[in-house]
Chains A and B, each alone.
Chain A
């Protein structure tokens, strides 16, 4: 490798360093893409919810911290589908993992409990299907 070829390489490295971001701190899976797809087309909700579940499982299996908000988002997906018991379980997971979320999650749990006592028309969805026991 001659001296001539070194300069462009250095240049590319410098640029590369300032364009690309650092490697990810958390395991996000498909979070970005599926939430975007869900907002672009509501029928993509299934992919968003399944992506949440997959990302959560992957992070748990690796022994890594599940990124902020994911348990809560998944809990809400379960809630939307009428699965209040599982929804509450995931809200509580979020609160246990992230103390900053405790106050908000307690509210969400109370809300879900209230809804749970009322007769609801459960809708089946991907989250409900995934949580079937």
Chain B
């Protein structure tokens, strides 16, 4: 019995870190096979007004590391602002196909901040963040992938944290400081967990050597990285009401 205990503990731990969710349907995402992802400014459903721009700085790295071309987030933000689209909720409400056509993007990633808070109780500080990620196809407007992630850290010494918990605590200890909580490690952790794991995350993109090895793609037995083709220019003939000034 005692010999089995570590194994059981390990299994329990592993189960704890692998999300127990039904794998999403990747058929649309694999069929669309986007090469480039446009990350638009983030909608913020929290009272922390600065959270959206702070979050924006954390998202290009995990998406690009996944093997996709990520449009320059700061430049995209400025361009949209110049076009009078400084309100992120307006951008999210706009037609994804038109949005992608403006930038020549294959897909657009919408992130909504659901939680960005620090709670102080006598001895404990809890910092938590929560995001919704939705990837839409630039050609059809269909939702290709959707994920929700929460990351939290509590400094509560009395919450029965053992050695394992303190290990996590060590990793994200930067999250809690008395003066101002640092949400960034948590945001990065949430992004990494959203993008990464097989079965829930985004499949590897064309710039990763693993592309095509993680999921069976329709009509591709062993897909070699495709040579990028010059994208046919989307017709700008029916000019949108908001005429871009660039």
Using a CB–CB cutoff of 8 Å, the interface residues on chain A facing chain B are 7-8, 10-12, 14-16, 18-22, 24-26, 28, 31-32, 35-36, 38-40, 67-70, 72-73, 76, 94, 98-104, 107-108, 110-111
What is the bound-complex CA distance between A73 and B77, given in angstroms?
A: 11
B117 contacts A by Cβ under 8 Å: no
Q: Which residue of B lies closest to A10 (CB)?
A: B10
What is the bound-complex CA distance between A76 and B105, given in angstroms?
A: 19
What is the bound-complex CA distance between A93 and B76, given in angstroms?
A: 17
Cβ-defined contact, A26 with B64, below 8 A: yes
Cβ-defined contact, A69 with B13, below 8 A: no
Interface string of B182-199 (1 = CB under 8 A from A): 001000110010001000
B170 CB to closest chain A CB (Å) equals 10
Q: Which residue of A lies closest to B195 (CB)?
A: A21
Question: 5 A-B residue contacts at CB 8 Å?
Answer: A18-B18, A26-B64, A31-B60, A69-B72, A100-B106
What is the bound-complex CA distance between A85 and B161, given in angstroms?
A: 58
Which 8 pairs from chain A and chain B are nearest by CB? A103-B104, A69-B72, A100-B36, A99-B228, A111-B246, A100-B69, A35-B57, A18-B17
Q: Which residue of A lies closest to B170 (CB)?
A: A19
B65 contacts A by Cβ under 8 Å: yes
Cβ-defined contact, B184 with A36, below 8 A: yes
Binding-face segment, B48-56, B91-99, B129-137, B213-221: B48-56
Q: How many of chain B's residues have a CB under 8 angstroms from any CB in A?
A: 55
What is the bound-complex CA distance between A72 and B24, given in angstroms?
A: 34
Cβ-defined contact, B57 with A36, below 8 A: yes
Cβ-defined contact, A103 with B17, below 8 A: no
Determine the chain A residues whose CB is within 8 A of the CB of B228 once the complex forms. 99-100
Cβ-defined contact, A72 with B104, below 8 A: no
Determine the chain B residues whose CB is within 8 A of the CB of A40 once the complex forms. 50, 54
Cβ-defined contact, A7 with B13, below 8 A: no
The residue that B60 contacts in the complex, of A25, A69, A108, with Cβ under 8 A, is A69
Cβ-defined contact, A31 with B61, below 8 A: yes
Q: Which residue of B lies closest to A35 (CB)?
A: B57
Interface string of B65-84 (1 = CB under 8 A from A): 10111111111001000000
Q: Which residue of B lies closest to A28 (CB)?
A: B61
A9 CB to closest chain B CB (Å) equals 11
Cβ-defined contact, A76 with B14, below 8 A: no
Cβ-defined contact, A68 with B167, below 8 A: no
Determine the chain A residues whose CB is within 8 A of the CB of B78 once the complex forms. 76
Q: Which residue of A lies closest to B72 (CB)?
A: A69
Q: Which residue of A lies closest to B228 (CB)?
A: A99
Q: Which of A28, A39, A67, A111 has the most CB of B within 10 A?
A: A39
Cβ-defined contact, B167 with A12, below 8 A: yes
Besides the known contacts A14-B10, A101-B104, A102-B104, 20 further A-B residue pairs in the complex with CB atoms under 8 A apart: A7-B10, A11-B163, A15-B164, A19-B17, A19-B167, A19-B168, A24-B65, A31-B61, A32-B57, A36-B54, A39-B53, A39-B54, A68-B68, A68-B69, A69-B75, A72-B75, A100-B35, A100-B36, A104-B103, A110-B246
B28 contacts A by Cβ under 8 Å: no
What is the bound-complex CA distance between A21 and B13, given in angstroms?
A: 17
Determine the chain B residues whose CB is within 8 A of the CB of A8 once the complex forms. 163
What is the bound-complex CA distance between A76 and B184, given in angstroms?
A: 25
Cβ-defined contact, B74 with A73, below 8 A: yes
What is the bound-complex CA distance between A104 and B68, given in angstroms?
A: 16
What is the bound-complex CA distance between A20 and B192, given in angstroms?
A: 9
B160 contacts A by Cβ under 8 Å: no
Q: Which of A15, A24, A26, A108 has the most CB of B within 10 A?
A: A15
